[in-house]
Copies of this chain bind each other. A is one copy, B any other.
Amino acid sequence: MLMAKAKFGANYKEVEVGEIVHIARDMPLKLECGVEVSDIPMAYQTYGRLNAAKDNVVLVCHALTGDQYVCGTHPVTGKEGWWDRMVGAGKPIDTDRFFVICSNIIGGCMGSFGPKEINPQTGKPYGLSFPFITIDDMVKAQAMLLDQLGIGKISCVIGGSMGGMQALEWARRFPERISSVMAIATSTRQSAQNIAFHEIGRQAIMADPDWRDGDYIVNNTYPSKGLAVARMAAHVTYLSESMLQEKFGRNLQNGEEFTYGFGADFRVESYLRHQGASFVERFDANSYLYLTRAASYFDLTRGGTRKLTDVYAGTHIRFCVVSFTSDWLYSSVESRNLVRALNAIAANVSFTEIESDKGHDSFLLDIPEFDNVVRGFLQ
């Protein structure tokens, strides 16, 4: 077991990123873009214990800017992992019972094969020489990791948002390995609006001269401003209008008078700036480019050339599909389309639309009904 260090964010803070294995050592991983990669690092965390029958594995797939630190203290931020409230002893994904694995997706920046890793051929970070990856590539890499860890079958693959895309791709790519799938606040394909939002984020990053055509690490710069704008633009889409109105409304940051300036007069402005600034400290700008690209490319129907009903025809997998009423990024309509296709082929599927005013981020937040759905499905 290898413990690796990595540098993060605008200040290139160096931290231990945890357990890492190298995959694709005997046989290369062929990416959808055509590039073959070998001997690439996969960083991962596990929680709970693998039982003797090896049938208690839950694979958690993280979202766009998540990572393998599902619970416990995050080594970069010092905060709780992104799903600490869901995963742990006695929690809905109960580590007293399940062996939970989460790996950093390829293209990511928490130790797995990503654009800030060193390209062995040049001795420099990949930057834009990093190959383009897809959701399918992420899933193939995860499967190779599990092979290497000696894990065959998975009881449940579970993920929200882009993690849900991975879960759905798992059900298509490796149905023989998995018993059930939970696809939360996600879609079978990235919508035009979501492609548009991601394009804005990428343009904001690439507009920053400190991005240096992706070579900011060797130039010792960092596109902090561009990445912060990208995060701010994305963050608004994770929340609902009513939640923003209720939480911030038109409240001013200081006092009761406008400053008549371009400072953060409104609390919602200050909040957004903080989101941008803290993101820059924990995430890699090139990773953001590659991962948003991967999300945009995601479409289980491949541009309509295959039907969803064909994708999952004859599947034995139990599906649980969850959406949240105020999620306008991956709305309930998207989930219903998936459920309709699964019903059409008489697949085993349950669908829950959960009442919440917290928008897309609902899947990360304290919603007891959601906890019950996850706990119940895993029973």
A residues lining the B interface (CB < 8 Å): 32-34, 128, 131-132, 189-193, 195-197, 199-200, 202-204, 206-209, 225-226, 228-229, 232-233, 236, 241, 244-245, 247-250, 252, 256, 258, 260-262, 264-266, 268-269, 272-273, 276, 289, 293, 296-297, 299, 303, 328, 331
- Inter-subunit contact A299/B226 (CB<8 Å): no
Chain B neighbourhood of A202, CB < 8 A: 262
Q: How many whole Å from A227's CB to the nearest CB in chain B?
A: 10
Chain B neighbourhood of A328, CB < 8 A: 241, 328
- Inter-subunit contact A203/B191 (CB<8 Å): no
Q: A228-B203, A229-B229, A297-B258 are in contact. Are A195 and B250 (CB under 8 A)?
A: yes
Query: What separation, in Å, do the CA atoms of A229 and B226 have in the docked complex?
Result: 10
- Inter-subunit contact A204/B206 (CB<8 Å): no
- Inter-subunit contact B195/A232 (CB<8 Å): no
Q: How many whole Å from A229's CB to the nearest CB in chain B?
A: 5
Q: A207-B229, A256-B303, A269-B199 are in contact. Are A244 and B193 (CB under 8 A)?
A: yes
Chain B neighbourhood of A276, CB < 8 A: 203
Contact of A232 among B199, B209, B268, B296 (CB under 8 A): B199
Residue of chain B at shortest CB distance from A329: B241
Query: What separation, in Å, do the CA atoms of A38 and B192 have in the docked complex?
Result: 48
Q: How many whole Å from A157's CB to the nearest CB in chain B?
A: 24
Query: What separation, in Å, do the CA atoms of A266 and B292 have in the docked complex?
Result: 13
Chain B neighbourhood of A245, CB < 8 A: 191-193
Q: A192-B244, A204-B204, A245-B193 are in contact. Are A272 and B199 (CB under 8 A)?
A: yes
Q: How many copies does the complex hold?
A: 2
Query: What separation, in Å, do the CA atoms of A166 and B193 have in the docked complex?
Result: 30
Query: What separation, in Å, do the CA atoms of A241 and B164 have in the docked complex?
Result: 21
- Inter-subunit contact B248/A192 (CB<8 Å): yes
Q: A207-B208, A209-B209, A233-B200 are in contact. Are A244 and B303 (CB under 8 A)?
A: no
- Inter-subunit contact A132/B233 (CB<8 Å): no
- Inter-subunit contact B196/A269 (CB<8 Å): yes
- Inter-subunit contact B193/A250 (CB<8 Å): no
Query: What separation, in Å, do the CA atoms of A199 and B264 have in the docked complex?
Result: 8
Q: A203-B228, A260-B33, A293-B262 are in contact. Are A241 and B273 (CB under 8 A)?
A: no
Closest 5 CB pairs of A and B: A207-B225, A132-B260, A33-B260, A192-B244, A199-B269
- Inter-subunit contact B196/A236 (CB<8 Å): yes
* Besides A128-B262, A192-B241, A207-B229, 8 other A-B contacts (C-beta < 8 A): A132-B261, A196-B244, A199-B232, A207-B208, A207-B225, A250-B303, A252-B303, A328-B328
Chain B neighbourhood of A192, CB < 8 A: 241, 244-245, 247-250, 266, 268
Q: A256-B303, A261-B132 are in contact. Are A296 and B199 (CB under 8 A)?
A: no
Provide 18 A-B residue pairs closer than 8 Å at the C-beta atoms, listed in order of the A residue.
Answer: A33-B260, A191-B245, A196-B244, A196-B268, A199-B232, A199-B273, A202-B262, A203-B225, A203-B228, A203-B276, A204-B207, A204-B229, A207-B208, A233-B233, A250-B299, A252-B303, A258-B297, A262-B289
Residue of chain B at shortest CB distance from A299: B250
Query: What separation, in Å, do the CA atoms of A356 and B331 have in the docked complex?
Result: 20
Chain B neighbourhood of A262, CB < 8 A: 128, 202, 206, 289, 293
Contact of A200 among B229, B248, B256 (CB under 8 A): B229
Q: A208-B207, A233-B233, A250-B303 are in contact. Are A195 and B266 (CB under 8 A)?
A: yes
